[in-house]
C-alpha cells in the first residue's frame, strides 16, 4: 500500500498519516526530514517526538534530511512513514542554491525519490504540503520551490494507491474519485 497525504500547513495531515500508518502494521519506521536550524525548530521536533510517544504506537525514528530515497530502500519495518517531503525538498533546494545545474539536480533527486517509492514493497505513507493553492510567490526561489513541489506531488500521486487531502483535520481520499478523460 502506497499512500500520499497532502494538505496545507497545520491541516492535520501528519497526525492523520500517523493514525493511518498505525492501521497498517503494529510498529513502524518514522522517517523525519527536518533540519533543526534554530531553537524554535528544535522545540518543534521535540514536541513531534513527544506527541508520537504519547500516541502509543511503536515508532523507530530515522533522520533523513537528504538521503530519503536511500532510507526508503533500506527500510526494514512493517510500515514506513515519511514526514515531510516538502521539508526534504527545501533541504536540497538550499543545498544546491547557487549551483549552475540546480534545477536539473533537484529534478534528479525527485526522480530518485519517485523510483524508491515505486519500488518499495511494504506499506509506506508519505506526507507532503500542497503549496500551490496560495499566492504566487514573489521571488524566483519561492516560485521554483512551488513548481518543484507541485511536480513532485503529481509524480508521487500517480504512483500511490491512495491520495488523501487533509483540510481542517478532515481527510478525504482523492485518487478513487479521480475523473479520467
Q: Any known ligand binding at 34?
A: yes
Q: Is position 35 annotated as part of the catalytic site?
A: no
Q: Any known ligand binding at 51?
A: yes
Q: Any known ligand binding at 15?
A: no
**Distance from the Cα of residue 99 to its chain's centroid:** 24
Q: Any known ligand binding at 143?
A: no
Closest listed residue to residue 83, CA positions, set 152, 14, 23: 14
Residue 168 Ramachandran class (φ > 0 left, ψ -120 to 50 alpha, else beta): left
Q: Residues 6 or more apart from 149 whose CB is under 8 A from it? A: 85, 86, 89, 128, 129, 131, 132
Q: Any known ligand binding at 98?
A: no
Cα gap 162→46, rounded to integer Å: 29
Q: Any known ligand binding at 147?
A: no
Q: Any known ligand binding at 13?
A: yes
Q: Any known ligand binding at 46?
A: no
Q: Sign of the CA dihedral 116, 73, 23, 36?
A: negative
Closest listed residue to residue 145, CA positions, set 155, 133, 135, 137: 137
| Locus of grid cell 527536518 | 34
Could you say which of 3, 48, 93, 113 is catalytic?
A: 48
CB 178 within 8 A of CB 12: no
Q: Any known ligand binding at 58?
A: no
Q: Any known ligand binding at 8?
A: yes
Q: Any known ligand binding at 33?
A: yes
Q: Which residues are catalytic?
A: 48
Residues placed in the known binding site = 7-14, 32-34, 49-52, 63, 83
Binding residues for GTP: 7-14, 32-34, 49-52, 63, 83
Amino acid at each position: 500500500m502506497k499512500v500520499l497525504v497532502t494538505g496545507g500547513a497545520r491541516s492535520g495531515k501528519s497526525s492523520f498519516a500517523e493514525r493511518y500508518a498505525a492501521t497498517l502494521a503494529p510498529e513502524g519506521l518514522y522517517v523525519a526530514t527536518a533540519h533543526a536550524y534554530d531553537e524554535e525548530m528544535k522545540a518543534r521536533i521535540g514536541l513531534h517526538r513527544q506527541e508520537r510517544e504519547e500516541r502509543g504506537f511503536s515508532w523507530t525514528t530515522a533522520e533523513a534530511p537528504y538521503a530519503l530515497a536511500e532510507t526508503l530502500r533500506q527500510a526494514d519495518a512493517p510500515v514506513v512513514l515519511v514526514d515531510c517531503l516538502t521539508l526534504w525538498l527545501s533541504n536540497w533546494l538550499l543545498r544546491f542554491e547557487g549551483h549552475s545545474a540546480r534545477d536539473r539536480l533537484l529534478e534528479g533527486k525527485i526522480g530518485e525519490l519517485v523510483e524508491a517509492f515505486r519500488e518499495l514493497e511494504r506499506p509506506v505513507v508519505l506526507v507532503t504540503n500542497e503549496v500551490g493553492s496560495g499566492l504566487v510567490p514573489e521571488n524566483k526561489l519561492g516560485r521554483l520551490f512551488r513548481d518543484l513541489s507541485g511536480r513532485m506531488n503529481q509524480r508521487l500521486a500517480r504512483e500511490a494507491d491512495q491520495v488523501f487531502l487533509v483540510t481542517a483535520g478532515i481527510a478525504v481520499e482523492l485518487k478513487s474519485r479521480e475523473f479520467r478523460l
